[in-house]
Structure 1
Amino acid sequence: MPPQPPPQNKQRIGGELPLVEQRIRDMQSAQAAREEGTPQQIVMAQVREKLRETLTPAQLERPSGADKAAALQMIRDEIGRFNRHAESYGRPVLEGDLESIAQQMLYSILGLGPLEPLLEDESIEDIYINGPREVIVTGDGGVQVRQVDFGTSEELMEILNRALAPSGRRLDFQSPTVDAQLSDGSRLHAVIKPIAQPWPLVTIRRHRLVASTMEDLIRLETITPLAARFMEAAVRSYASILVCGATASGKTNTINCFSSYFDEMEAKLVIEDTRELHLRGYNVRYLVTRPPSVEGTGAINQAHLVKQALRMRPRRIIFGEVRDAEAWDMCNAGNTGHDGMIAGVHANNPRDGIDRVATLARRGVENVPEEVILREVVRAIMLVVHQEFDHATGKRHIKQIAEVTGNVEGLNAVIQPIFDWQNGALQWTGNRPYPRLAERLKNHGYDYDVIFAGEEPQGGRGLW
């Protein structure tokens, strides 16, 4: 048998290429230097083609750190080859900070493209993308238009799917909407054609942990020290609390901060549609819903997760946001020994918050009178915290803390304010709690009179 030639140690990426392949790539670069298009577009096309030959589809969608490092070196090499050949043919070369250009190309090819620096900017809170060439951000600098170009709608959709890959969700023409949490905790919602124009329409809510304790909320002027002292007693006494407000009013941050009053070792179970809460302490479990498959099967909703939660013996159950029929299961749990629940809901004030929960609860049960449903709700919830975002100042404020007395008059829950927004500040009303709340505080070592000792009420209001 004739002697076999030594095996070629062909490194597909990040090393010296075999001589023949090196010459082929030089010829490709020379051809590319003569093609039409900007130098950056030409180099990007070359690199994309080579990476498709080099990396698997899984690596392209979820590249490792080593894949990215090797790809960056490939981009540097390709820029050098392109510029050498472009000069020899008298064509424009790629100019500027070549290392920065290479990094931006890497973002576009294996990262999240122009989206990446926006997600890394700590001053940004919300990102609105209206097609591939319009980006608006809100945050510490107010509302700003950013000069960002994603290329085409298809290229932007490719970037979005790369961002969605860790969540296991995907955006395509069979599933033209998606809601998911990104790896950095941000919440992404996207819609594509045929139901969106221009497309894609993308909204990203950055998960900025601007507050993690009640002291942070006091510093940010979201709550007053006196109100925080009262809420500490309520949370530690396992009063069930509903946090209501509009989108972006700060409900998630407030619930996170309430967790600083939890026993850090007690079993805590969080139910959410998309992971947003990050509770303090140990023994925190998270259950997250699952959307249906393309075939319309396999969905797991919050109502199903509540039933699973009750079998896991939690000391507290926390709902990131009550949205549907799970409200009935939540109230049933609250009335069968699972006190200390905390839940968020979209509503304009405390009364609307209670009414909203009752409306959602009706979806979970049939042939039950409205009054019975309302009584179930008011027995399950003791306090409602209402929060608002002030667009003029950019600050979030707790505007009311109201006691749900447990009583119903007709089809109206009886609610009284403990704190109310008056004269531009959150003020104690001086209203005394009903026996249900007073006894709960007392049983856990808190006296309402001691909490407010030395404080003067600022014009109390009666029942709502």
Structure 2
Amino acid sequence: MTAAEGVGVPLAEVRAVLGRAGAAAGPVEVAAALRGLGALVSEGTVRETVAALRRESAGAGPLEPYLALRGVTDVLVNGHRQVFLDRGAGLEPVEGVFADEEEVRRLAVRLAAAVGRRLDEGAPFVDARLPSGTRVHAVLGVLTDVGTCLSLRVPARRPMTLAEWVAGGSMHPRAAELLTRVVRSRAAFMVSGGTGSGKTTLLASLLGMVEAEHRIVIVEDSRELAPAHPHVVRLEARAANAEGAGAVPMAVLVRQALRMRPDRLVVGEVRGAELTDLLTALNTGHQGGCGTLHANSAADVPARLEALAALGGLPRAALHAQAAAALDVLVHIGRLSDGTRWVAELHLLERDEASGLCRAVPAVRFTGPGDPVLGPAAARLDGLLR
């Protein structure tokens, strides 16, 4: 509750008075508006009301303080009654952020407008990246049962090192050693995991270990990867404009990236037809390529690749042949029962000679702080990274 509301004047009424007068939300104008509404005006009331109005009209409004909290990766809004934060240990509820549905909708529309996107009944959802780098997805209440929903993904303020992953309890020391070898051997790898599991954060950590003289070209649907590396070029896909023109899909960007002399080609998140271009690149001399992929486990990656390859018109047999030859290591990250992110396993792809299909074979699993569990592909992984 703001100071204005504390003396019986809703912030919406102050805003309406200023709007009708075409006045800015400065101290003099706000004091006059409060007097006109019959409120008792004090220096503290005016100062706090001005701050509340400016907070509402800049950045992410009332969500801005939560986005700035240390360790926050996601802020989720389910209508005006429910707001949740994720600081790496599961979702935490936050109370009293929004007064009503109109306030949430107004924020969602303003965030969409800030990046030149439309959000109304005719276009009731939007996915965009704010100038701050925060990724925002909004769905208006016409499509939900709780009101306007917002999902904000906060970019990492700085890339984590593998040592920090280990110190934070999200990675076994042996996993850090193996992943370091994966990067330095220029093996092609894919990081899999569920939504919010930390795939992008882990990939940024690994790219930070790439040799300084190597050129990294990153292709993303929405820019999130910012590795600590001196030579990075980032390409971002573009949605169609209001007239339905101007779209630049991921698959096109992957092909353009190949003409930019990448030492490491990176697809931030493989989610469609761009998979076929990535596999082609990895099979034609582009070593050390990598990306992330949504999957429930490393064992599920081949099936997930099949589904994505179908979007690019790549037959099943061709996909398995290409994947087996292109991808060296699968790294899976998930969450423990307490919500903590955890690098869980490394697999290798193995192709069955009879069927021609490939499957993910466990090389090493990390079930906790104890000794890792070696799988059938452990020796092959060691030879690959040697």
With structure 2 as the length reference, what TM-score do the two structures score?
A: 0.87
CA distance in 1, matches of 2:175, 2:59: 45
Would you say how many aligned residue pairs link Structure 1 and Structure 2? 376
Structure 2 counterpart SS, 1:398: strand
Task: Spell out the pairing of 1:168-179 with structure 2 (5 A cutoff).
Answer: 168-179=116-127
Aligned AA (1:321): E
Counterpart in the other structure of 1:217: 165
Shift of 1:83: 5.2
Shift of 1:288: 1.2
Structure 2 counterpart SS, 1:114: helix
- Contact 2:172–2:366, Cα closer than 8 Å, also in 1: no
Question: Which deviates further from its counterpart, 116-125 or 331-340?
Answer: 116-125
Cα pair distance change 1:141/1:420, threshold 3 Å: closer
Match of 1:127 among 64, 75, 85: 75
Match of 2:361 among 398, 416, 437: 416
Task: Spell out the pairing of 1:59-458 with structure 2 (5 A cutoff).
Answer: 71=24, 74=26, 76-82=27-33, 91-94=38-41, 97-122=45-70, 124-139=72-87, 142-153=91-102, 155-209=103-157, 211-365=159-313, 368=315, 370-392=316-338, 394-405=339-350, 410=355, 412-422=357-367, 425=370, 427-429=372-374, 431-434=377-380, 438=383, 441=385, 447=386
- Contact 2:302–2:360, Cα closer than 8 Å, also in 1: no
Cα pair distance change 1:125/1:150, threshold 3 Å: farther
With structure 1 as the length reference, what TM-score do the two structures score?
A: 0.73
Question: Which deviates further from its counterpart, 285-294 or 402-411?
Answer: 402-411
Structure 2 counterpart SS, 1:222: coil
Counterpart in the other structure of 1:49: 20
CA distance in 1, matches of 2:320, 2:216: 27
Aligned AA (2:173): P
- Contact 1:420–1:426, Cα closer than 8 Å, also in 2: no
CA distance in 2, matches of 1:330, 1:241: 12
Aligned AA (1:222): S
- Contact 1:244–1:344, Cα closer than 8 Å, also in 2: yes
- Contact 2:18–2:33, Cα closer than 8 Å, also in 1: no
Shift of 1:257: 0.6
- Contact 1:268–1:283, Cα closer than 8 Å, also in 2: yes
Shift of 1:335: 0.4
- Contact 2:192–2:301, Cα closer than 8 Å, also in 1: yes
Percent of aligned pairs with the same amino acid: 29
CA distance in 2, matches of 1:278, 1:426: 32
Unaligned 5+ residue runs, structure 2? 1-7
Superposition RMSD in Å: 2.7
Structure 2 counterpart SS, 1:136: strand
The one-character-per-residue Cα deviations of 1:260-304 (angstroms, maximum 9, x if unpaired) are 210123111111111111122122111111122333333221111
Cα pair distance change 1:351/1:212, threshold 3 Å: same
Shift of 1:93: 2.0
Larger Rg: 1
Cα pair distance change 1:363/1:247, threshold 3 Å: same
Counterpart in the other structure of 1:13: none
CA distance in 1, matches of 2:367, 2:10: 62
- Contact 2:321–2:356, Cα closer than 8 Å, also in 1: no
Structure 1 counterpart SS, 2:218: strand
Structure 2 counterpart SS, 1:400: strand
CA distance in 2, matches of 1:403, 1:141: 30
Unaligned 5+ residue runs, structure 1? 1-36, 55-70, 442-446, 448-464
Shift of 1:340: 0.6
